Amino acid sequence: MQFRIVIKSEIGKKKRVLIFLGSIIAALIVSGLFLAFLNLNPFQVYIAMLQGSVGSVYRIEQTIIYAIPLIITSLGVAIAFKMKFWNIGAEGQILMGAFMASYFALNYSFLPRFILLLIMFFAGFIGGAVWGIIPAFFRAKWGTNETIITLMMNYVALKWVVYLQYGPWKDPNAFGFPKLANFAKNAVLPELFGVHIGWIIAVLLTIFVYFFLNRSKKGFEIAVLGESAITARDAGINIFRTIIFAMVLSGGICGIVGFIEASGVEQTLTKDITGGVGYTAIIIAWLGALKPQWMVLASFLFAILIQGSSYIQSAFGISAYSAQLLEAIVLFFVLGSDFFTRYKLIIDWPSLLRRTKENGK
């Protein structure tokens, strides 16, 4: 065996940061080579990406709007991941949260704004929670594979929203175009400092999840169950209830994202309301080591990358695919850095050289 992957002992924060910074530098070098191949100056493109994401008040606001759903969704999936429950269904939970919130927005717009938004908030939570309970029940009752079930439920939720968009909820005033009616003003999140108040919800949820995971009894039980079901059972933890509770919270928080995106951004319900946030949040949760404070930082870095990539498409005439490739290169190296903080690659050079000589003969 010429190659071996060995689990590292716990490394310090300083070394972890150095590995992360090294991955960013490597990503910039490889991306620079790709940009040079396109006859572009890499430094100009990188500066433009920063300008496009934080170069003005408006661009900063747009970056924050991108970051809000990433932060909240990563908080939601982190609760499930802490329990070793692989919730890949955040996309579906967001859609169902948006669906439930939209029902009240479209049918109860006569209510006072504060009351209606509060109802929509809890409706979004319930929509996501219900979509989280189903795979949780199957896992807790029969030990099914939650990865497959949560992933499949994403498509069920998507098709349900498409059915509403083309069917019973289709706006009769849209001249045949398959869309829902826009929300009334009462159902739209107000703005504070140029950004919808979803950012306040994100701050409050970050604080809540931090204390829940680190200071609460339930958070401790979820962590113990994630380490060992046998240990959890011996400690008197009700495994069935813990799994259900954790996924109610995980799915419900993701459902809140659906409410925020429907009310604060799209101001209606569409099948594209998630924008892939549910899948990106999985990466963010792992990069943040399931720690809320680090997930917030990772979310903003992703938002800067997304907003900056969008800007350089128009500034340099780069195609959307090229911009996405730049994002992918950065993600590849950042994820690689996470691998090297946990494992090390050992190469048996004498055996490798001997095998090479034998093949040469």
Q: For 92-121, what is each residue's pLDDT tens digit?
A: 999 999 999 999 999 999 999 999 999 999
pLDDT of residue 175: 78
| Mean pLDDT within 190-209 | 96
Q: Dihedral (C-alpha) 156, 251, 286, 196: value to the nearest 10 degrees?
A: 100
On the 0-12 / 13-18 / 19+ scale of CB atoms within 10 A, 336 is middle
Distance from C-alpha of 28 to C-alpha of 351, rounded to nearest angstrom: 34
The reply to whether 26 falls in a domain is no
Average pLDDT, the chain: 90
On the 0-12 / 13-18 / 19+ scale of CB atoms within 10 A, 30 is middle
For residue 87, which of 139, 143, 142, 159 has the smallest C-alpha distance? 139
The reply to whether 304 falls in a domain is no
Judge whether residue 322 has pLDDT over 60: yes
Judge whether residue 174 has pLDDT over 70: yes
Tell which wins on pLDDT, 310 or 99. 99
Tell which wins on pLDDT, 259 or 171. 259
Q: For 134-155, what is each residue's pLDDT tens digit?
A: 999 999 999 999 999 999 999 9
The reply to whether 151 falls in a domain is yes
| Overall domain count for the chain | 1
Most confident of 155-159, 308-312, 315-319: 155-159
pLDDT of residue 84: 92
The reply to whether 29 falls in a domain is no
The reply to whether 196 falls in a domain is yes
Tell which wins on pLDDT, 141 or 317. 141
pLDDT of residue 349: 58
pLDDT of residue 352: 54
Neighbouring C-beta atoms of residue 119, cutoff 10 Å: 18
Most confident of 78-82, 229-233, 315-319: 78-82
Judge whether residue 206 has pLDDT over 80: yes
Confidence bin at 320 (pLDDT 50/70/90):
confident
pLDDT of residue 173: 83
| Mean pLDDT within 243-266 | 96
The reply to whether 87 falls in a domain is yes
pLDDT of residue 106: 94
Judge whether residue 1 has pLDDT over 70: no
Judge whether residue 361 has pLDDT over 70: no
- Three-class SS of residue 154? helix
Confidence bin at 133 (pLDDT 50/70/90):
very high
Is pTM, for the whole model, over 0.75? yes
The reply to whether 331 falls in a domain is no
pLDDT of residue 137: 96
Share of the chain above pLDDT 90, in %: 65
Domain enclosing residue 227, as ranges: 65-299
Q: For 46-68, what is each residue's pLDDT tens digit?
A: 999 899 999 899 999 999 999 99
| Mean pLDDT within 83-91 | 94
Confidence bin at 353 (pLDDT 50/70/90):
low
CA distance readout (Å), 276 to 81, 98, 117, 259, 272: 19, 14, 25, 16, 8
The reply to whether 16 falls in a domain is no
Tell which wins on pLDDT, 58 or 342. 58
pLDDT of residue 16: 75
Opening angle at CA 328, ends 326 and 331, nearest 5: 115
For residue 157, which of 228, 94, 63 has the smallest C-alpha distance? 94
